[in-house]
């Protein structure tokens, strides 16, 4: 049997993953921000897709969520690549992303 290749066709901002985790743990963004020693606006912006995962933020997320920093950085890279590809294919739609 031939190997099947799995291709992701849609990526989501990593903030959506964090939002799901917060909901599972019944944590508010305010509580999570305090837990991470970050301003609430930092977490809020991330949850809304207005900011990206940086290496230092990935380390903070790893400590708070127990999910590897490399995973958070990979989610961000996948999302960034997806957005860039969409912009190349539909330059007029870039503002809608």
- Parse the chain into domains and list their residue ranges: 24-89
pLDDT, tens digit (0-9, with 9 covering 90-100), for 43-89: 999 999 999 999 999 999 999 999 999 999 999 999 999 999 888 87
- State the SS3 of the chain: CCCCCCCCCCCCCHHHHHHHHHHHCCCCHHHHHHHHCCCHHHHHHHHCCCCCCCHHHHHHHHHHHCCCHHHHHHHHHHHHHHHHHHHHHCHHHHHHC
The pTM of this model reads: 0.81
Q: Residue 21 pLDDT more than 60?
A: yes
Could you tell me which CATH class the domain 24-89 is placed in?
mainly alpha
Percentage of the chain surpassing pLDDT 70? 84
pLDDT at 2: 62
């Amino acid at each position: 049997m031939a190997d099947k290749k799995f291709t992701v066709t849609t990526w989501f901002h990593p903030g959506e993953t964090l939002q799901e985790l917060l909901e599972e743990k019944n944590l508010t963004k305010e509580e999570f921000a305090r837990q991470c020693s970050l301003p609430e606006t930092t977490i809020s912006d991330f949850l809304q897709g207005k900011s990206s995962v940086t290496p230092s933020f990935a380390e903070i997320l790893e400590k708070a969520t127990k999910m590897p920093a490399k995973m958070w950085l990979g989610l961000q890279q996948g999302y960034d690549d997806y957005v860039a590809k969409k912009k190349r294919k539909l330059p007029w739609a870039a503002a809608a992303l």
